[in-house]
Structure formats: C-alpha cells, structure tokens
Structure 1
C-alpha cells in the first residue's frame, strides 16, 4: 500500500482510473448515440441567415426561458403535433473541434416552447414586434424587450425592414424603427423551427432520401395469398424503409428484430393492430392495422413478408393463427 506514500504513483493511478471511466461512461455511449441517430426525412439544414440567427439566440441566452422539446405528456400538445424524438436534434453539429453546439432543448419553460413556433407564428412582422416590445402582442408577457436589436432612422432605406410599433410603446416623432441584420437573422431562425411530420402508417409521399436498389425484399416470393411486398410498401415502408433497416433515431429496424423473428407472432400482430409507444428513442407507432382496417389476410401477408425478408428467417404464420390473435385483440378493445 505504498501507493498512498508515493504521490506520483497515486496521482497517476487516479488519473488513469478517471480516464478509463470517462471513456466507458461518457465517450463511448455518446459515440454510440451519435451513430444511432439520423435527421428525419424532410428536414433541411439551416441557411446561413438562420445559422447566424441561432448564434444570436444562443448569445442572448434565450434557452434560459424557452425550451425546444415537446414532452410526451398531454399538456405539451399545444406546443407541437407530436412528442419530440432523438432524430429531431440529429442535425446539430459541432461549432468547431473544441466547441460543441448548444442543443437548445432547455430545461425551463418560463416562456412558451419554441419547437413549432415557425408554424404557430410564421409571420415576420409578429416576430419583429414581439422582439422589440413583447407586451405589444402578449400583454401578460414578462419577456424583456430586445430593442437593442433595432435602430431608429428618420429616413429608412428602401431595403430596410420597418417595424410598426403601437404609439403606446414608441414616439413616432423620433423616426422609424428598423430591424438590424441580427434581428432579421434571429427571426429567420425562429421561423425555421417547425416539427417534421412523421409518417402515420397510411400511404404517403416518398421520403426525400434516395431509394436504395431493391435487394432481398424485392426477390422474396409472396408468402400468402396476397402480395406481402405491396402491402408492406403501402403500409409500413414509409417508416421502416424498403430495406427494413428503419431510420436511426426515429423508426426501429425490422431487419434482425427479435419481435419479428419470434416464433410467437402475438406481439408483432399486437403492435400492428394497436400501435406501440414503449421505447423513448423512437417515434410513436400508430395502430396501422386498425387505422387502415387491415384484414387478417393482409396482416398475414405483411408479417410473413417481414419475417422472411432482409435475412429474417422466422417460421411462416398461418392465417388461422393470425385470425385467432386478431379476434382476441378485438375483444380486448371492446
């Protein structure tokens, strides 16, 4: 135990233990999360003006009062059309090698959540007026005025964005209030905050990702009386993708899934008919089968296609077994 008497050995040992724990507890899990996430289809990177606006948002500490996360609780329905998922934040990138970006999810909601503010308040005029004098549009607001983001000009230029402020809050004899570039960039960033619509299990336009060439799934023979490939394409592919790999941070993969490959298909059919919301890292799956009024023969064709594609090799589920499980589900939901 002379380690306690030798300060060099003690400090070296402590440092090495700290380094190993940091790698195991912080770095490796962070890299795993990063690799298991991807921006949603339809999401667009910030423009140069929007990125500058995000910097203004960060510089002014807006995250201290505003969140950007819709929690999966009833009271948050007013802030977005759905709960936020990991893929909503996958587009955040490091500012530099040594500086990470602010996620801006926030922890305090002194002011309203801004996840979907670009849809709730799309107009530039409202945003500029709100920034200059919040109480001119929301009388009860406790938000401070960001009037320093504006200038007063006697003779605004042709390209200047003039903000029409009520006389109660500004003496018009002084001139006109003009938004600075910083204010315009900040508003551009706020207008970009819009939730991306998730596929709802019904036929929808193709994702913006480039389609991969058909592989095993395309060559898989139909396992039932109906065309399982076509039914999967119409009802499941928009989320789980043509290759069955899903989308990281949004929709789980069916390829290699223990639920899909389980000999007992009860859970698989339950998920199709009743939906699924048990894993926080993925979006909520709607009751696709119920919403689309899928018949037992259609469900059978879908699940047997999934159970025999992309390397899956589970047993074929007979139609009688599918009907029995679906009858039990109907009894439970009555």
Structure 2
C-alpha cells in the first residue's frame, strides 16, 4: 500500500504510462503513416512565392468557400483527373513554429474545388482579374472582390503587372489597376495547385457512381467521331471568352465574328490554342490552353468546329487530319 500513499511514485508512474501509450498509440503510428504516405516521386516543391501566396490564401479566408479534395465520386470528376490520395498532402509542412500543417482541404464548396485549378485555369491575367472583380469573368459569381490586393497607378513599372479590366467595371478608375506583390504571390499559389500524375504503372482509384457516358458523334465526314466541342469549350475557353462567345470588352477578345476563328489560317488558329496569344495590347495575354490542359488533336478539332459554327459563326468545319498535322509541326 506504500505505493498508493506516495504521491511521487503515483505521479511518475502515471506520467510514464502516459508517455508509453503516447509513443505506441500516437507517435509510432504517425511516423509509420508518414513513411507510407510520402509525396509522389514527381511532385514539384512549392516555390517561395507560392508559399507566401498560401499564407495570403489563409489570411483572406479562401478556405472557407473552397475545398482542395477530390473525392472518389463521379460528381467530383470536374475538379481533378483522379480522386485525391494521402500522398497529395504529404509534402505539407508546418506554417511556422506556432501553427501546424495546413492542408486546406476545406469542407464547403460555396466556390469550385481548387485541387487542380493550376491546370484548369493557369492564366495569370484571368486569375488577377477574378481577384480584382469576380463578376468581370463570372457574371453569377458570389465571391467577394479583393481590391486591397491591387493599386491604382498612373504608370505601370517595368516589373509590375497591369490588370486589364473590362470597360463595364473600369468606370471611375482614374489610372491603371496594378497587382501588388501579394496578389501575384496568391496567384502563384493557385497556379501551383495541380494534381501530380501517379508514377508509371500505378492506376488511380476509380470514381464511384459513374454516369453513363453517351458518345457524341457529329454528322459529316470531317467532324465524325469527335468529342463534344461545346462541353470542351465550356471547360477550357468559356471562362475568358464567355458562354456566348462575346468575350469581355477590354479584357478578353470575342470568338463570335472573330476573323481568326472564321478565317482560313488554320495554322494560326491551332497555334493560338496550343501556345497562347499575345499580339493585341488591348487584351490580356492568353495562356497556352491546349498545352496546359493536355488537349488532344480530337479535342482541339472539336473546339475549333464548335467555335466556327456557334453564335452566328458559319465557317466550314476542319478535319482531324489537318489539325493533327499542324499540332505535330508546332511541337
């Protein structure tokens, strides 16, 4: 009974048991889990600017409305090419000494999931305009604007980035909208959010509860057996050029009535899709949508034919063989 009467022995015994249980129940399983779920071998480390952008993402409360987790259900397929796995989050480290790892997986999708936003929307110009005024690029957006991430200046410095704001939203602005360093870093973080491909030979988990896919076949020999060009346009082009093909005046050019879309220079058209475009100062720089989104020749052909035959456009369709030949020549 002396043991139970000695408070020192009781305390030390309880402390020893607590430490022992902590080691076996918490620490060792955590270390094993960390070894079993290491980052994927081809994962790219986050840059210093992207890390600062992550801190801005946290500070501005973006995690309250955006998730970063692709669940293994078919409804999540638009957010990533595969369901998320533990290795996707294994590279996260402590924010600082006092704050623990921030995976930013989120729980609410008031806004779209951002797991693969760096692939879906890599355009610096689009992302900056979206931060400055979301309604300028997504008319029905309920996202708040973040004007404090920008400055109004009379001249744009050599290393500064001007945000091209559509005429509808530039009224009352006495100068040029210039992105601050924090805004650039936040976009760098968003651009870094890309799903890392699995190593060769590894198959991703399948999406559950898949919808039955009906192959889309357009009429005519030139456009037969191509994917749905309208759906591909919505996924890859509509964010800037808008669903009605009219673009945004002062920011993104229209597809409707475009001489490039309706013209006969298919080499230029395909090159713009695959490599981007920066030939007109009045519009923002277009990123290399085709390359960034790994569009196939079939998908590029379907997009081109959709654009050449929609919104009153009435140009003859192009063939898959023509597009394949051009894509091979510009690689």
TM-score by length of 2: 0.55
The reply on whether 1:126 has 2:47 as its aligned counterpart is no
Distance in 1 of aligned mates of 2:172 and 2:118: 30
Distance in 2 of aligned mates of 1:65 and 1:13: 47
Q: Quick one: structure 1 residues 144 and 20, their matched pair in 2 at CA, closer, same or farther if it must change by over 3 Å?
A: farther
Match of 2:284 in 1: none
Offset at 1:61? 2.3
Match of 2:322 in 1: none
Match of 1:59 in 2: 59
Match of 1:151 in 2: 151
Offset at 1:177? 0.9
Offset at 1:81? 0.7
Distance in 2 of aligned mates of 1:150 and 1:11: 58
The reply on whether 1:180 has 2:180 as its aligned counterpart is yes
The reply on whether 1:141 has 2:151 as its aligned counterpart is no
Offset at 1:171? 2.8
Q: Quick one: structure 1 residues 131 and 285, their matched pair in 2 at CA, closer, same or farther if it must change by over 3 Å?
A: closer
Partner of 1:162, secondary structure, is: coil
- How large is the Cα RMSD of the aligned pairs? 2.8
2:50 touches 2:185 (CA, 8 Å); kept in 1? Answer: yes
Offset at 1:44? 0.9
TM-score by length of 1: 0.55
Distance in 2 of aligned mates of 1:132 and 1:26: 45
The reply on whether 1:48 has 2:48 as its aligned counterpart is yes
Offset at 1:50? 1.4
Distance in 1 of aligned mates of 2:75 and 2:85: 17
Greater Rg, structure 1 or structure 2?
1
Distance in 1 of aligned mates of 2:180 and 2:136: 19
The reply on whether 1:115 has 2:111 as its aligned counterpart is no
Offset at 1:98? 5.4
Q: Quick one: structure 1 residues 23 and 62, their matched pair in 2 at CA, closer, same or farther if it must change by over 3 Å?
A: farther
Instruction: Map 1:199-218 onto structure 2 (within 5 A).
Output: none
Per-residue deviation, residues 237-261 of structure 1 (Å, max 9, x unmatched): x33xxxxxxxxxxx6xxxxxxxxxx
Unaligned regions of 5+ residues in structure 2, if any? 208-331
The reply on whether 1:284 has 2:205 as its aligned counterpart is yes
2:72 touches 2:206 (CA, 8 Å); kept in 1? Answer: no
Distance in 2 of aligned mates of 1:98 and 1:37: 24
Distance in 2 of aligned mates of 1:136 and 1:49: 26
Match of 1:72 in 2: 72
Distance in 1 of aligned mates of 2:57 and 2:12: 42
Match of 1:162 in 2: 162
Offset at 1:188? 0.9
Offset at 1:158? 2.8
Per-residue deviation, residues 12-62 of structure 1 (Å, max 9, x unmatched): 665555444433332222111111122223321112221221121122222
2:153 touches 2:177 (CA, 8 Å); kept in 1? Answer: yes
Q: Quick one: structure 1 residues 19 and 59, their matched pair in 2 at CA, closer, same or farther if it must change by over 3 Å?
A: farther
Per-residue deviation, residues 227-284 of structure 1 (Å, max 9, x unmatched): xxxxxxxxxxx33xxxxxxxxxxx6xxxxxxxxxxxxxxxxxxxxxxx8xxxxxxx43
Aligned length, in residue pairs:
207
Q: Quick one: structure 1 residues 115 and 17, their matched pair in 2 at CA, closer, same or farther if it must change by over 3 Å?
A: same
Q: Quick one: structure 1 residues 7 and 169, their matched pair in 2 at CA, closer, same or farther if it must change by over 3 Å?
A: farther
Offset at 1:191? 0.7
The 10-residue stretch of structure 1 (10-19 or 148-157) with the greater mean CA deviation from structure 2: 10-19
Match of 2:276 in 1: none
Q: Quick one: structure 1 residues 109 and 4, their matched pair in 2 at CA, closer, same or farther if it must change by over 3 Å?
A: farther
Match of 2:22 in 1: 22
Match of 2:240 in 1: none
Instruction: Map 1:311-326 onto structure 2 (within 5 A).
Output: none
